Each structure stands twice: as C-alpha cells, then as structure tokens.
Chain A
Amino acid sequence: MSLYQLQKLIYDVNRNPERRDAYRADKAGFLSRYELTPGEQAAIADLDVRQLYSYGVHPLLLRPFTLLHRVSNEDYAKALAGLE
C-alpha cells in the first residue's frame, strides 16, 4: 500500500499539464515513475474508480481525475454505490 504515491500521481496529472501530457502519451511508462503496488497500478490503468476510492484516494483528488477521463456524475456515483 502506497497511498501517498498513488495520490501524488493523481495530483500530478490533475494539476501539472506536462505530467498530464506524459500520462496520456505513455500510461505504462508514467506509472513506473511512482512507487505503486501492482493493485494500485492496475486501478489507475483500468480507471477502477471504486478501487481507487477504496484505497483511500482523497475524493477531491479522485473526482477531478475522473472528470479528466470524462466520467459523468451518474457513472461516478454508480461506481461508488454502497460505499461509505
């Protein structure tokens, strides 16, 4: 579990246009820059919103990150249905 690194990746993509471009150009290469577990890597690679939320990613990092991927409010809510 490396929640700090996972959130750092998301923060960088959200807030830094150069990092965002790098992420979009080569997702696998970008993921390797961060110290992530295989599970965390997969959750980013697959944009597994429910898993990322369950790992403890801050909701105000996660929601903007999913907005960059054009996840609607409805789909976001559906992904989190039943969670605390």
Chain B
Amino acid sequence: MPIVFACAASHAPGMTAWTEAAPQEQRDKILGSYHKLGDMLAASKPDVLVVISVEHWANFFLNQMPTFCIGRAQYYDGPVEEWLKISKTRVPGDPALGAQLLDVCLNSGFDPAFSDELLFDHATMLPLHFLNPGMTVPVVPVIINTLTTPMPSPKRCFELGRVLGKALERQPRRIALIATGGLSHWPGEAKMGKINVAFDKQFLETLVNGKRALLAEYSHSAIDKEAGSGGHEIRTWIAVAGALEDWRASLLAYEPVHPWATGCGLVAFNP
C-alpha cells in the first residue's frame, strides 16, 4: 500500500493571515480539522508528499502557462506572500519522484510541463503549514492551471489523477497525496465574498457518498457560474478522486466562512 494517506482541503489565506476575523466556532472547526488531518498524515508515516495544487501568478504568467506542471526541484521556497503569517521556509523536494511521475505521464497520454525551480504561494504553503510541520517530509508538487482559461477539463484532471494514482501505488516508498483548493469563492471579483453553499455541499456529497466518477462530469462553465473563478480549484480534488476511486472519503468539516470569503472543506481518504 504505497499510498498511505490522502486528503483534500481548502487553502483560504485568511485561515492564517486573518484567522481572528472568522467566528470562533468556524475557525475552531476548520483549523481543528486541519490539525486532525495533520495528525492522521503523521500517523501514516509518509516518506514523500505529492501535492496536487494550483498557483496564483507566483511562477507562471500569460507568456507561458502550463496546463499541468510537475516539480522536479531539489527544494521549493515559500510563501511568496509577505502577509500570509507563515514563515518563509525552504521545503525539500524529491526530484527523482518528480522525474518518475513525468515519465509515467508521458507514457500514459499526458504531456505535463516540468520545472526545476518553483516558488510556493499560499495554495501549497498553507496546507503544508498544517500537514508538514517543520517541513521535514519532501514534496513533489503537481500544479494544475485553474487560474486562467483555457484550463484542463475536470475529466482530464480526473484521468490525470488516475494515472498518478496507479504510478504511486507501485512506489516502494510511503506516499501521502494532498489536494488543495476551492471550494466556491470569487477572489478579487466584483462578487468577492460570495459563497455557494449548495454547490459546495453537492460536490462534497458526491465525493464522500456518491459515485466518484461523476465528479469528472462537471463542466468548466458550470463551475465558473456556480463556484466562481476560485471554484475551478476543485480540479485538484477531482484529480485525487481519480487517483483513489475506491477509497472511502470522510468529511471532517465544511463551513462557509464569510470573513475568509471561501467555502472551506476538509476531507480525509482511507483505503
């Protein structure tokens, strides 16, 4: 069982940058669940973390925007945001596993970009802050473009997850898989602050209790309309769902946290 643990969680920067703005009950639930995920992950004793993440103009711009990018760096520095209230840290990488995952993708119908130097923004640093305290476990990031159109379809993300999952299952080392992003939010938009609780709950219900392959059927336009520009990040969750189609998922918390302007969810997966 080379994948030993998996989880998916939102990364609203308010969780660390303006924690106190949220009502105590909500922040206790969300941050408490993050710590619980951290404990579960530590108990699984992973050798490597594969983080399916996104970024927000930290590395890539419109001159070159990879649809998928796998990190092959020795280390990753972050966060880029001065205001996140997470100390600047160097996160160890795992270039060999990054290179292996690239090979697997290139032989399985995917052609991701690769990078030997990536910075982490809050999308990756915030979950690692809770899930990899001390940043002792090496990380391989898989970045999905959910920032700007055109983006990969949810179906492709699900299939990418399936390819990665199969490859990770064959690893001799213990792997933890982390997805980060969403749920509904409209960052920087005129609708900033809106949260679509009905969309978020439906998505979580399908993930936890439904037929997981249905997640691949979400359309770009439906996500855009119902979950906002930030909602596109659920593609990372959909990728992990593709990797672990048969694993049980359990919902640790869901809260629409208005001061953090995000529908915040945390889910653990078990074999």
Residue ID in chain B nearest A76 by CB atoms:
B192
- The answer to whether B56 and A60 have CB atoms under 8 Å apart is yes
Q: Is the CB of B190 within 8 A of A81?
A: yes
Task: Give the size category of A's interface with B.
Answer: 20 to 34
Q: How large is the interface on B (under 10, 10 to 19, 20 to 34, 35 or more residues)?
A: 10 to 19
Among A8, A14, A82, contact of B62 (Cβ-Cβ < 8 Å): A8
A60-B188 CB under 8 A given contacts A14-B57, A15-B57, A77-B193: yes
User: Would you call B39 an interface residue if the criterion is a C-beta within 8 Å of the partner chain's C-beta atoms?
Assistant: no
Pick from A7, A15, A59: contact of B188, CB below 8 A.
Answer: A59
| Most B-side CB within 10 Å, residue of A61, A81, A82 | A61
Q: Which of B56, B61, B186 contacts A8 (CB 8 A)?
A: B61
Flag A22-34 by CB within 8 Å of B: 1 or 0 each.
Answer: 0000000000000
The main secondary structure of chain B at its interface with chain A is loop
Bound Cα distance A53, B57 (Å): 17
CA–CA, A77 and B57, complex, Å: 22
A62 CB to nearest B CB, Å: 6
Min CB distance B121 to A, Å, is 10
| A11 with B61: CB separation less than 8 A | yes
B193 contacts A60, CB within 8 Å? no
The distance from the CB of A19 to the nearest CB of chain B, in whole angstroms, is 13
> Cβ of A7: which chain B residues have Cβ within 8 Å of it?
62
